[in-house]
Amino acid sequence: MSRAAHAGRGVLPLLGAATAMMLVAGCSGSADDATTDTTSGDEDVTLEFAQWWEPELPDGSLRGLMDEFEAANPGITVELLSGPYASTKEQVVAGSAAGTMSDVVGLDGAWVSDFAKQGSLADLSTLMSDAGYDESQLASQIQIDGSTYMIPVVNFVYPMFTNSDLLTQAGVAAPPTNRTEFAAAAEAISALDETTAGWVLPLSLEAPNGIQNDVMSWVWSSGGSMLKDGQPDLTNDDVTSAVEYIKGLWDAGVVAPGALTMKEQDKVEEFTNGRVGMMIDSLAHINLIRENNPDLNFGISALPAEDGFEGERGIPYASWGIGVAENSEHQAEAWKLVDFLMSEKTNAELSSVAFAFPGNTTAVPDFVEEDELFKTAFDIYQSGFPANEFTGLPVAEQLMRLFDEQFQLMLEGDQSVDEMLAKTQEAWLAEF
């Protein structure tokens, strides 16, 4: 599974009551030079670190960072337990249920609520306090009931991708900035020929993260929310307006065919092959698109907002999160590894090789200065706010699926927008 494909499965609210955002222009961290001689006893400590990151990074890059950590912390050894996203999820879920979770775990934001309720994740707020850690350097934290259980290490934002050649052929001078412009561009591109569509929308029930990344992003881009006081609020004007807008695009025939069974990787393939003009997608796919179609002329821009909206735009994102197991016998040492990964120098290096944005507010990845598209994305990221209200919610993936089921019925004309949202609201409340 690609980096972006798995990253898109969870992705984070920093909007909801379950999540606390701290986008403070932070002070420098405490961990650029990790403290030596840190073990809690005389015996050497081996930390297990389960994650899906290593297969997604350049060969040796994560292991190289672990070697740096070990050199700075004599007596602590890190054993990487690496695998694809799906198998890592199975391993972490099983470890949570059995009380055998690895000392340090890579986390998807969609898992956090369930793990916290099971008592399988350590309270990072306590570990940070015990270590005298300066939290202001963290771009965000995922909290449940006021305690932090996950820290996003790197963030993969989801801007809008546009096929520049298709826009030009359709007579569209620039990427759309609002809903009216987007609808007009989608119609113009779709009218070019029978094989071209204006927009691509993945709605597979098997992998329902399209609800998060491609549907609810229209709410967040205009500063709206699907929650109120931490509870579902799907019948509000912001959500209703976004769903009505997407229904209008669907009825206009500008959505690529096969949407109801399409997954995120299918969406990227459609765009890469030049069959769609616009998509909302992970920044991590820029290099994948370039590798698979070097001749594709494309750009990125902020998600369109409601006409006349002038506030900060929410931009959907996914994260590689990190946590510490409650069952770990070496929580102090485990925190030192988290501290190391979140330090300015290390976080910038990890962000650079992952082509993601840092979780440390002072870190700046190398690619921002080296690549115009990534620089544009970084500007978008800094001018708005990261938004993903599914992170930290209970059974987040199931919530997406429940929304998707009713959403598909609505698109096919079997119920109205108001009926769809009311039924989804009722189904969500049953899960809360």
> How many domains does the chain divide into?
2
Phi/psi of residue 78, nearest 5 degrees: -110, 125
Contact 299, 164 (CB under 8 A): yes
CATH of the domain at 367: 3.40.190.10
Residues 287 and 336 in one domain: no
- Give the model's pLDDT for residue 26: 35
Contact 220, 314 (CB under 8 A): yes
**pLDDT at residue 34 above 60?**
no
Residues 307 and 372 in one domain: no
Residues 372 and 403 in one domain: no
Q: Choose the weakest-confidence range: 17-26, 44-53, 180-189.
A: 17-26
Residues 166 and 140 in one domain: no
**pLDDT at residue 319 above 60?**
yes
- Give the model's pLDDT for residue 42: 60
- Taking the C-alpha atoms of residue 80 and residue 68, their distance in angstroms, rounded to an integer, is 14
Position 58, amino acid: P
Residues 421 and 277 in one domain: yes
Q: Structural domain of residue 421, as residue ranges? A: 160-315+395-431
Structure tokens at 62: 């994560």
Q: What is the DSSP letter of 303?
A: P
Q: Which residues contact 284 (CB under 8 A, 6 or more apart)?
A: 2, 3, 4, 7, 156, 354, 355, 356
pLDDT band at 392 (very low <50, low <70, confident <90, very high): confident
Alpha-helical segments (H) within 11-137: 61-72, 85-98, 112-118, 124-131
Mean pLDDT in residue range 66-80:
98
- Taking the C-alpha atoms of residue 154 and residue 164, their distance in angstroms, rounded to an integer, is 29
Phi/psi of residue 418, nearest 5 degrees: -65, -40
| Pairing state between β 317-324 and 276-280 | unpaired
- Taking the C-alpha atoms of residue 346 and residue 372, their distance in angstroms, rounded to an integer, is 23
Q: pLDDT for 244-286, tens place per residue?
A: 999 999 999 999 999 999 998 899 999 999 999 999 998 878 8
- Give the model's pLDDT for residue 221: 96
- Give the model's pLDDT for residue 21: 34
- Give the model's pLDDT for residue 380: 85
Structure tokens at 339: 């501290």
Residues 255 and 358 in one domain: no
Residues 169 and 45 in one domain: no
- Taking the C-alpha atoms of residue 196 and residue 42, their distance in angstroms, rounded to an integer, is 66
Q: Which of residues 386, 404, 420 is at a domain's end? A: 386
pLDDT band at 8 (very low <50, low <70, confident <90, very high): very low
Residues 22 and 142 in one domain: yes
Q: pLDDT for 350-389, tens place per residue?
A: 999 888 889 999 998 888 777 888 888 888 887 888 789 9
CA 238 to chain CA centroid, Å, is 21
pTM: 0.76
- Taking the C-alpha atoms of residue 136 and residue 411, their distance in angstroms, rounded to an integer, is 44
- Give the model's pLDDT for residue 179: 98
Residues 273 and 210 in one domain: yes
Phi-psi region of 11 (alpha: psi -120 to 50; beta: other; left: phi over 0): left
Contact 227, 16 (CB under 8 A): yes
SS3 149: strand
Q: pLDDT for 214-223, tens place per residue?
A: 999 999 999 9
pLDDT band at 297 (very low <50, low <70, confident <90, very high): very high
Q: Which strands form 160-163's sheet, in the order they lie side by side?
A: 197-199, 276-280, 160-163, 298-301
In angstroms, the Cα distances linking 186 to 104, 279, 281, 283, 348 are 45, 10, 16, 21, 37
- Give the model's pLDDT for residue 285: 84
Residues 177 and 222 in one domain: yes
Residues 325 and 295 in one domain: no
Residues 115 and 242 in one domain: no
| Pairing state between β 314-315 and 385-386 | parallel
Q: pLDDT for 134-152, tens place per residue?
A: 999 998 899 988 999 999 9
Q: Which residues contact 278 (CB under 8 A, 6 or more apart)?
A: 160, 161, 162, 163, 175, 176, 182, 185, 186, 189, 198, 199, 200
Average pLDDT of the chain is 89
Which of 69-83, 109-123, 137-151, 312-326 shows the highest mean pLDDT?
A: 69-83
DSSP 40-66: SSSS-EEEEEEES-GGGSSTTHHHHHH
- Give the model's pLDDT for residue 109: 87
